[in-house]
Structure 1
Amino acid sequence: MALESNERPDKPITKFESMLKTDDVYFFDAEDFEDIIHHYLNHGKISLAKKGIKIGLQQHPGSIELKLLQVEVMVFENQMEKAEALLDELQLLDNHNEEIYIQRANILSKLDNHEGAIELLQKALSITNNSFDVYSLLGMEYLFMDNFDSAKESFMKCVEFDEQDYSSLYNVVYCFEFLEDYEGAIVYLNGYLEKNPYCEVAWHQLGKQYYYKEMYSEALTAYDFAIISDDTFIGAYFEKGKVLEKLGRYKEAIENYETTISIEDPTSHAFLRIGKCYEKLKDTDMAKYYFYQTVHEDPLLDKGWLAITNLYYNKRDFEKAVFYINKALNIDGENPQYWKKCAKIHMALENYDQADFAFKQAVDLGNYELDTWLKWAEVVRINGETEAAVQILSQGREFYPESLKLLYRSVGYLLLANDPINARIMLMDALKIDIKQKKLHLFTENFPQYGKSEWTQEIVKKYNKTK
Structure 2
Amino acid sequence: MDKTEIEKPQEDEKFSKIKSLAKEAYRFLDQGRFREAKERLEILLEEDPSNTYGLVGLGDYYAKTKQPAEAIIYYRKCLAQDSTNKFSLMGLMNCYRDLNSLKKIIEVAEEFHHITITDASILSRVADAHRKLKNFKESEVYYMEALQINPNDQYVIVGLGHLFFACQRYAEAIQWWEKLLSTQPNNIKILTEIGNSYRKIKDFDKAIIYYERAKELDGRNFFALYGLAESYRGKKDFETAILYWEKILEFDPENKLIINRYADSLRGLGKYDKALECFNKILASGDDYFALLGKAAALKLIGDLDKAEEIYVNLLAKSPNDPRPALELSDLWDLMGKKVQAIKMLEDLAKKIPSNESIRERIEYLKD
Alignment RMSD (CA, Å): 4.8
Residue in 2 aligned with 1:379? 298
Tell me the equivalent position of 1:415.
none
The amino acid of 2:335's aligned partner reads N
Work out which of the two has the higher radius of gyration on C-alpha atoms and give 1 or 2: 1
Distance in 2, Cα, partners of 1:150 & 1:289: 48
Which of structures 1 and 2 has the larger relative contact order (alpha carbons within 8 angstroms, sep 6+)?
A: 2
How many angstroms apart in 1 are the aligned matches of 2:63 and 2:23?
26
Q: How does 1:208-287 map to 2 (within 5 A)?
A: 208-287=128-207
- Conserved in 2, the CA contact under 8 Å of 1:207 and 1:220? yes
Counterpart-to-counterpart distance in 1, 2:274 and 2:74: 54
1:445 to 2:326 alignment: no
Q: Work out whether 1:171 is the aligned partner of 2:88.
A: no
Query: Bigger shift: 344-353 or 400-409?
Result: 400-409
Which residues of 2 match residues 379-458 of structure 1 at below 5 A?
Answer: 379=298, 396=315, 399-400=318-319, 444-448=333-337, 451=338
Which residue number corresponds to residue 417 of structure 1? none
Query: Which of 108, 114, 127 is the matching residue for 1:207?
Result: 127
5 Å-filtered alignment, 1:21-420, equals 42-43=30-31, 72=35, 99=39, 129=49, 130-136=54-60, 152-153=72-73, 155-157=75-77, 162-165=85-88, 168-175=91-98, 178-179=100-101, 181-182=102-103, 184-363=104-283, 368-369=288-289, 372-379=291-298, 396=315, 399-400=318-319
How far the C-alpha of 1:203 sits from its partner, in A, is 1.0
2:94 maps to a residue whose letter is N
Compare 195-204 and 392-401 and name the one that shifted more: 392-401
Cα contact 1:135–1:157 (8 A) shared by 2 = no
- Give the distance between the partners of 1:405 and 1:231, measured in 2 at CA: 44
Paired residue type of 2:275:
A
Distance 2:71 2:152 in 1: 31
Shift of 1:395: 7.1
Deviations 1:353-412 (A, max 9, x none): 33123223444677732x531331443576798998788669757844788997999xxx
Distance (whole Å) between structure 2 residues aligned to residue 380 and residue 298 of structure 1: 38
Aligned counterparts of 1:286 and 1:407: Cα–Cα separation in 2: 35
* Contact 1:139–1:154, Cα closer than 8 Å, also in 2: no
Residues 378, 389 of structure 1: 8 Å contact kept: yes
CA deviations on 1:247-267 (whole Å, 9 max, x unpaired) are 454443323212212234531
Change (3 A) 1:152 1:318: same
Amino acid at match of 1:168: G
Question: Is contact 1:377-1:389 (8 Å) kept?
Answer: yes
Q: Distance in 2 between matches of 1:289 and 1:224?
A: 30
Structure 1 CA distance for aligned equivalents of residues 39 and 192 of structure 2: 48
For residues 175-203 of structure 1, the C-alpha deviation after alignment (integer angstroms, 9 at most, x for no partner) is: 56x24x43x32221233342253312111
Rounded Cα–Cα distance in structure 2 between residues aligned with 1:199 and 1:264: 24
1:242–1:126 Cα change, 3 Å: same
Write out per-residue CA displacement over residues 210-230 of structure 1, whole angstroms, 9 at most, x where no aligned residue: 212333333222122222323
Partners in 1 of 2:323 and 2:168 — Cα distance?
36
> Does the aligned pair in 2 maintain the 1:156–1:172 contact within 8 Å?
no
1:286, distance to aligned residue in structure 2 (A): 2.3
Q: 1:153 to 1:392 in 2, by over 3 A?
A: farther
C-alpha distance 266-211 of structure 1, shift in aligned 2 (>3 A): same
Q: Is the 8 A contact 1:325 1:341 kept in 2?
A: yes
Question: How far is the alpha carbon of 1:237 from its aligned partner?
Answer: 0.9
Letter in 1 for 2:247: K
Gaps of 5+ in 1: 1-30, 47-68, 74-97, 103-123, 410-438, 457-467
Contact 1:237 1:257 in 2 (8 A): yes
Shift of 1:318: 0.6
CA contact (8 A) 1:152 1:175 kept: no
Q: Which amino acid aligns with 1:374?
A: L
Residue 208 (structure 1) shift: 1.1
d(CA) in 2 for partners of 1:37, 1:201: 24
Separation in structure 2 between the aligned mates of residue 279 and residue 289 of structure 1, nearest angstrom:
11
How many corresponding residue pairs? Answer: 316
Hey, what's the Cα distance between the residues in 2 that align with 1:315 and 1:192? Answer: 51
**Secondary structure of the residue that 2:87 maps to in structure 1?**
coil
* 1:402–1:185 CA distance, 2 compared to 1 (3 A): closer
- Distance in 2 separating the partners of 1:246 and 1:43: 37
Would the alpha carbon gap of residues 220 and 381 (structure 1) be closer, same or farther in structure 2, given more than 3 Å must change?
Answer: closer
Paired position in structure 1 for 2:9: none
Distance 1:348 1:375, change over 3 A: same
